[in-house]
Structure 1
């Protein structure tokens, strides 16, 4: 019997869509399992071979866990903010909102044709204000908190300000960039600029000078995987090591708790 994959794939994928087969609801009777793929950059005209290579593997595992009785959450989304979308828009002479929307539609069409078991009701687009308002919220929360090693929790920076005014940082057990010591008299005698420099030593989100991959032509800092042989992957422009002030997150302070 001939396997007519076009007919069968179309038939069953349509049924999956109609019945929302892979939509996930809370179900306390089953163990939970989370399968998360790296979101693609919709900065081109469609998927490349590297996308399905990884997605097929994780989809196989997601289906395996479902057959084992797990309530599997397998979402998908698009890392649609930043340099890739910006550069694609520049190259094509179009607004990034237009190119990104069109590219996402093409990606979705191709992902659907492959037949992945994604819960599309939980789609994430990092360029969507409804999404990035929460990343901004999280950043502000980290900026306004420090990590207390005694309680193993993030605590408001306002508590530090009160403590410093009363007794300096004596007895403080907090994650910090550098071990420093000062008295309440010193703290109370400092101006706002100096106090903020000290608070930056404790904030979970803080600014510091660090070596970065700076690309003058693109006018931005690049991650290590965006640089190859001293050139930017996008555009092939020279990249130099430069010390610049960057926003950092004190992730190591609560790494064990995250694990």
Structure 2
């Protein structure tokens, strides 16, 4: 092999190496803990499935068949101002406010219920394929979880499905996505059956922050209480969080 051929072969080998080299991995998602700013009473019999603050009113959706409700609460005191039963004895799940309406998912009943926000009365029911877990509104579309590693996007007008994204943490699927909160281009999600919250980029599904909230249980949460489930954005990096049958709601700083 002459010198020119040797050089050509060397160049080709280098280029081949570049082409087949694995893509660089991103930095692992950072992990943090919530900073507790206040403790607020919460109904210990509320099987919390959805939590959202809108115009100084805290909305809560609760679950269990025959017991599910849509509620309004005072966010400062935790007092329940109004509680309406979900129609059909459905098993209620996540909720979100969209203008003058509220959408509430059902677990395995195959429908989503739309409520009139002012009167707290059901307006209609629409078919929902698959299970309903968490729900939030990013200003353009609804984002739904179903207990898997997938976030599904829906039309806020009629719940028509618009696509979705699979969620990963450091390249691995994150399953058990539960109650959701959409905040400034990110989706915060409780991860069932843990006391962990993840922050997700809905563009590519990557988790970019993990919140280990297990220490909240040391603040008077009984062992019988179920998992953390309920995230309501207050403003900036402040949130209200609680859990299923938790006697306390926490105002926390995340991030």
Under a length normalisation based on structure 1, what TM-score does the superposition of the two structures give? 0.21
More strand by share: 2
**Which structure ranks higher in relative contact order (CA pairs < 8 Å, sequence separation ≥ 6)?**
2
User: Rg larger in 1 or in 2?
Assistant: 1
